[in-house]
Amino acid sequence: MKLNLPRYTYSEVGRIANNFLKEHHPSLEIPIPIEEILDLKMGFNIFPFPRLFKDFGLNGFLSADMSTIYVDEVQYDQYNEKYRYTLAHELGHYVLQKSVYENLPYKSFDVNPPVIEAQIRKDNITQKIPIRRKEL
């Protein structure tokens, strides 16, 4: 399956991020309450996934139906900064690649969804966002 990922310049990513923050955290106070934004304002489920990194090499992933962010349980429990980074990273996939997720041929799974989705993410969707490096 070939994914047509949108391409962004650094400036475009910065503009999109600033617009997102204006809408969801206009005070811009640090630290940005990423968990509260995702959970309370945007309605995401945040699911601590046992052994996600150990078994699949993933820190986290956004579900195909864009409703849940799965995060390695050890990060969730013990490494707050890494956990927050992973949430922000997955939010970036949502904001920058929402159209890709909306056009996936699958939206959910009937058998052991987290394990299947983790494997699919690992094998097919963990591509980096292509960013054009030349800017004038």
Q: Does the residue 91 lie in any domain?
A: yes
Q: Write down the pLDDT at residue 104.
A: 66
Q: Does the residue 38 lie in any domain?
A: yes
Q: Does the residue 136 lie in any domain?
A: no
Q: Write down the pLDDT at residue 111.
A: 37
Q: Does the residue 43 lie in any domain?
A: yes
The CATH number for 64's domain is: 3.30.2010
Mean pLDDT computed over 107-133 = 46
Q: How many domains does the chain have?
A: 1
Choose the weakest-confidence range: 23-27, 77-81, 86-90, 94-98. Answer: 94-98
For 6-56, the DSSP string reads --EEHHHHHHHHHHHHHHH-TT-PSSP-HHHIIIIIT--EEEEETTHHHHH
Containing H/E element for 69? strand 68-72
Q: Does the residue 113 lie in any domain?
A: yes
Q: Does the residue 8 lie in any domain?
A: no
CA distance 119 to 26: 37
Mean pLDDT computed over 117-133 = 45
Instruction: State the average pLDDT for the chain.
Output: 79
Q: Write down the pLDDT at residue 125.
A: 43
Domain range for 105: 34-127
- Structural contact between residues 118 and 61, judged by C-beta atoms closer than 8 angstroms: yes
pLDDT, greater one: 42 or 118:
42
pLDDT above 60 (res 107): no
Q: Does the residue 132 lie in any domain?
A: no
pLDDT tens readout for residues 20-35: 999 999 999 999 999 9
Q: Does the residue 114 lie in any domain?
A: yes
Q: Write down the pLDDT at residue 98.
A: 78
pTM of the model: 0.74
Q: Which residues contact 95 (CB under 8 A, 6 or more apart)?
A: 16, 17, 20
